[in-house]
Amino acid sequence: MKLNQAIRTRRSIGKVSESIPDKTLIDKVLEAARWAPNHHMTQPWKYIVLTGEARNRLGDVMKEIKADTMAKEGRTTTADKLEQAKRKALRAPVIIAAVVQPSEDPMVEEIEEVCAVAAGVQNALLTAHALGLGAIWRTGKATYHAKMKAFFHLDERETLLGFLYVGYPATLPRERPRVPIEEKVEWWDR
C-alpha cells in the first residue's frame, strides 16, 4: 500500500474479530512506531503488549477505576456498569499500551516527548492498516488514573498515552468527511 493511500484510507476500527494476529505482524506495527521523529533522539517511548490473561487483568483494573470514579461522583455503582468497564479490555485480542518516558535532560521539553510517542502511535496505526489489521487508539479518564499507572508499574514522570486495540477488522467503517484543508491553513508571507 502506498503511503498516501494508507493515510487517506486508515480509519479507527473499534470492532475486530477474536482471531489473534500473528506476532510478526504486531512486531512490524511496533517497529514502525520506533521510527517516529523525536527531538534530541531521546526515544521516549515504551510499548507494553497485552494478550490473553493480561487483558483480563487490565479489565479488572478498569473495573476498579470505574467503581472509584462512580463513588467519587456520588453515583450508584451497578454490577452491570462495572462488568461493562471490565469488558473494554476484551474488545481486541491485542492491546498495546503506549507510554511516554520523558528524558530527564533539562534541555528537553516534555511536550516534545509526548508528541514523539503520539507520532509513534500514528506510525503504528498506519502500519496496522497497511498490514490488513484493524486498530483504534483509545484513551479516557481511566487511562490517566493512578491505579492504571500502578498496573503498568509507571513511575511518577511516565505517562500512559493510551491504548491501541488491534485485531482483524470485523467491520469496515464508513469514510467520514473532513473539513477542506483551505479552512485550516493560513499562509503568511510577512
Answer whether residue 122 is part of any domain. yes
Alpha helices in 73-109 (DSSP H): 79-87
pLDDT range class, residue 175, cuts 50, 70, 90 = confident
Answer whether residue 73 is part of any domain. no
For the chain, the average pLDDT equals: 95
Answer whether residue 2 is part of any domain. no
List pLDDT tens digits, range 112-163: 999 999 999 999 999 999 999 999 999 999 999 999 999 999 999 999 999 9
Structure pTM?
A: 0.94
Per-residue model confidence (pLDDT) at position 131: 97
Q: What percent of the chain has pLDDT over 90?
A: 88
Structural domains in the chain (count) = 1
The region, left, alpha or beta by phi > 0 then psi within -120 to 50, assigned to residue 70 is alpha
Structural contact between residues 166 and 138, judged by C-beta atoms closer than 8 angstroms: no
List pLDDT tens digits, range 68-83: 999 988 888 889 999 9
Answer whether residue 27 is part of any domain. yes
User: What is the Cβ-side half-sphere exposure of residue 94, based on CA atoms within 13 angstroms?
Assistant: 24
CATH number for the domain including 40? 3.40.109.10
Per-residue model confidence (pLDDT) at position 146: 97
pLDDT beyond 90 at 172: no
Structural contact between residues 16 and 168, judged by C-beta atoms closer than 8 angstroms: yes
Q: What percent of the chain has pLDDT over 70?
A: 100
Domain carrying residue 101: 13-51+91-171
Instruction: With CA atoms as reference, report the closest residue to 92 among 28, 168, 173.
Output: 168
pLDDT beyond 80 at 19: yes
d(CA 55, CA 58): 5
d(CA 14, CA 81): 20
Answer whether residue 29 is part of any domain. yes
